[in-house]
Amino acid sequence: MTQTILLADDSLTIQKVVELTFADTQYHVVAVSSGDELLEKLPEVQPEVVICDIIMPEKDGIETIMDMKREQHDLKVLAISGGGRAEPDNYLESARLLGADATMKKPFTHQEMLETIDELLG
């Protein structure tokens, strides 16, 4: 049974890495480039899990996660971050406090990503 992952990351490289990570699995990845796009696609895609970058232009990942969790409390969310002006741990801790079910630092390995998504979906 195919399960859908909705990915929001403004980096095309990360989008491709995640798509390749799940290429030969039961997961199908739908990628968008912003938090606003993610929120627009959410009702259409109805994913089992969302992967959301924290540092994005316009609506950042923290705001996006808060908006998603307000509407869909049981939606599983993995927050990812490579940093920015502060340490990525600070961003990821904020994401966790505001609703992310798991967090991961970039760069990540294919195995780390697969294991984390498998854990989130039980």
Q: What is the pLDDT of residues 15-46, one digit of tens each?
A: 999 999 999 999 999 999 999 999 999 999 99
pLDDT of 6 above 80: yes
Q: What does the block give as tokens for 87?
A: 């340490």
Report yes or no: 42 and 6 within 8 Å, Cβ to Cβ: yes
DSSP letter at 97? H
Question: Residue 85's pLDDT band (boundaries 50, 70, 90)?
Answer: low
Question: Residue 91's pLDDT band (boundaries 50, 70, 90)?
Answer: confident
What 3-state DSSP class applies to 108? coil
Nearest partner of 21 among 96, 106, 93, 122, judged by Cα:
106
Q: What does the block give as tokens for 43?
A: 């009702």
| Cα–Cα distance, 23 to 14 (Å, whole number) | 14
